[in-house]
Structure 1
């Protein structure tokens, strides 16, 4: 059984993907942390403990204060914010390197360096690969360098959940780091980087792709600088949607997925209706009361979704310019998977889903239960006493659980192969 630590746990998406509703023989979460510094009431943590039990191993505190309490584990998982990861020398010059305060990735690396788990699985927004705009790829390069220096290799992949059969067009980058002394790491070193990404690595067996280079985007071959400070100050790279880093050597390729039939938004609405009946009146867009703009809520949403070209004046230079944006479907297409949910879901803004109700034909927002199903959570998962607005917020921050189930299956395959190789060839392993 793999012992798991879940960081930045939210309402338990990683755990639900690995353990399911009940603990299995494959994974056991031995420590979990969820803490929201900006709120008094810790709704996400309360939801987590209601679902997984109020235990001492479920910690609601600043990770920077409690990370040393983390027990031995095999797999470290978590979704963390995209921040500025730049580094600098300490005040004592050659005494070492320090990262920016409050950046949670450095807390992850403290745990990695101290507890040395065999595997690390992280999730982030895909723009991480390109940030910051003034030094493309710097932040991700710092992360890769940190793992290299800690004795790990890395494979990453941007995955759109809908392309692999799920109900939401949610694109996220997943980062799988593995310790260099594992059997898996030794086997990966014997493969070509193309072979790793297209068939034999961590992601491809569960998320298959077309073989061969991309016709528009060239493959990237690069090598990280030896000093992380030089990486922070000087290194930049245009990363593709997949890649590997082994001993500081980078290979990155734009992969094209073998697309599976996605689950349409309509199926989500039907499932919720079958269980709960018609949506409550509060979810329907009002077409009577006028807002400050002079439009009703329904008219406002239609305006926001329409294409527009608006004259604006820069606050800095006071020059005039035109802000333009294309149109979005109004209402959302029910025969396609849902768009990416944001934390502002179900408010009157351009990004919110707006659907034509299947049974009344009226226009409304998604319900919290529909949002939960879009992420692959059981409906009602966040119905634990938290405010409804917070339920939407939690789902806007959550990941698609089904993706983690597939990755959990792949880690289990890797572990089984490792045990088989160790059992059959203990002497050969000592020769590496």
Structure 2
């Protein structure tokens, strides 16, 4: 098969690239011991972190791959001239979840005036401006994308679907919890695949049943099998044809989103249903990623005198608190399992995982030498990155943990990528 040319946006430290290309042609699902033999080839990438002067994630990315075709510039500036982005077969990226509302259409223009700083519109501008549009889109976002904003549940996703519909794409999506399919971390993310009308997959979907595609025959269903949660829970509706009308009038009651965790949009018609995983394979557990205790640096172990602080933060609470203005209020929260169970997949890694200070959300495990936090290598393994992928000179462990809090589970990308190849 000829190479499939890929453009990777919002690249972070390269999770999509690892999933599609492998690392040194080795696959994440084999712990980088077996060949992937992938035709995917990232020909251009972009990573820009607006909130920091030093571009740490981009530095890691460039250290792992050739920096010649990598852009470390604000994508909103880059897309002002989309000719600098090469034509590609597939565009991929984990774009941020933001407020996607549309203010107005622009007269005599292809574009839409969304809110400044909303990076979906950078993707949209590339797709709009390119004469040779990518045949496939493979995107990732947090699971709340289907449910936001709170005043118009599902509106943001409806805007994305209708804007892709206008550009000639069929779109399928699924919320996948990686641990449901044997991966080592409970990480729920929305995965979106789109197929341009010039592709054979588009024509195949149009010729069949929407429900059959998303339950049995689809790209995601082939590798992440599901069953419908209840036979009566399929929702079907047509999106407003005008994207501004979608922005202003979608689900005005703000009640439950009409988008379930699985679905497809064809010609503006949405078919959506709740599904549950149907997996009977092996599972990787937290204990399977843990390194030998003798290789763990001393600062990762929790000192005896700090344990009360950890116990308090992890524990259940019912107490009176004061806000900044002195107003008193009742505060309560449930307890967390502490320490984290080694016989299960790990909890979701968050960006604040690093650092010595006690925290409700950091992982803590039991070892023969006492309780300790997870090391950068273990966090990398929970996202199925190669060991020491984020290690470069002078990169702090706290920053490395931050990268993994922002990353995705590489094995999910690899499996969907392989399934898409079979469809192609």
Fold agreement, TM-score > 0.5: yes
Equivalent residue, structure 1, for 2:150: 133
How does 1:18-417 map onto structure 2 within 5 Å? Answer: 18-22=20-24, 24-55=37-68, 57-67=69-79, 68=82, 69-89=84-104, 97-115=112-130, 116-210=133-227, 212-214=228-230, 218-236=233-251, 237-259=257-279, 260-269=281-290, 272-273=291-292, 277-288=294-305, 297-312=306-321, 318=327, 321-347=329-355, 348-357=358-367, 359-360=368-369, 362-385=370-393, 386-415=395-424
Asked if 1 retains the 8 angstrom alpha-carbon contact of 2:20 and 2:38, the reply is no
Aligned counterpart in structure 1 of residue 8 of structure 2, from 3, 6, 11: 6
Asked if 2 retains the 8 angstrom alpha-carbon contact of 1:331 and 1:355, the reply is yes
Gaps of 5+ in 2: 26-36, 252-256
Max Rg structure? 1
When residues 150 and 316 of structure 1 are mapped into structure 2, their CA distance, relative to the original with a 3 A threshold, is farther
Asked if 2 retains the 8 angstrom alpha-carbon contact of 1:214 and 1:256, the reply is no
Distance 1:70 1:389 in 2: 33
Distance 1:25 1:232 in 2: 39
Distance 1:112 1:180 in 2: 13
Asked if 2 retains the 8 angstrom alpha-carbon contact of 1:44 and 1:394, the reply is yes
When residues 151 and 317 of structure 1 are mapped into structure 2, their CA distance, relative to the original with a 3 A threshold, is farther
Asked if 2 retains the 8 angstrom alpha-carbon contact of 1:34 and 1:60, the reply is yes
When residues 341 and 95 of structure 1 are mapped into structure 2, their CA distance, relative to the original with a 3 A threshold, is closer
When residues 408 and 93 of structure 1 are mapped into structure 2, their CA distance, relative to the original with a 3 A threshold, is closer
Offset of 1:182 from its aligned partner? Answer: 1.1
Can you list the C-alpha shifts for 1:393-423, whole angstroms capped at 9, x where unaligned?
00000000001110110111111xxxxxxxx
Asked if 2 retains the 8 angstrom alpha-carbon contact of 1:346 and 1:353, the reply is no
Distance 1:169 1:239 in 2: 22
Larger RCO of the pair (alpha carbons < 8 Å, separation 6+): 2
Offset of 1:163 from its aligned partner? Answer: 0.7
Moved over 4 A (4+): 90-96, 313-318
SS at match of 1:383: coil
CA RMSD, aligned part only?
2.0
Offset of 1:330 from its aligned partner? Answer: 0.5
Offset of 1:310 from its aligned partner? Answer: 2.3
Number of residue pairs the alignment of both structures matches: 397
Distance 1:315 1:234 in 2: 37
Query: Normalising by the residue count of structure 2, what TM-score does the alignment of the two structures yield?
Result: 0.89
Asked if 2 retains the 8 angstrom alpha-carbon contact of 1:35 and 1:62, the reply is yes
Asked if 2 retains the 8 angstrom alpha-carbon contact of 1:122 and 1:174, the reply is yes
Distance 1:91 1:406 in 2: 40
When residues 387 and 96 of structure 1 are mapped into structure 2, their CA distance, relative to the original with a 3 A threshold, is closer
Offset of 1:194 from its aligned partner? Answer: 1.5
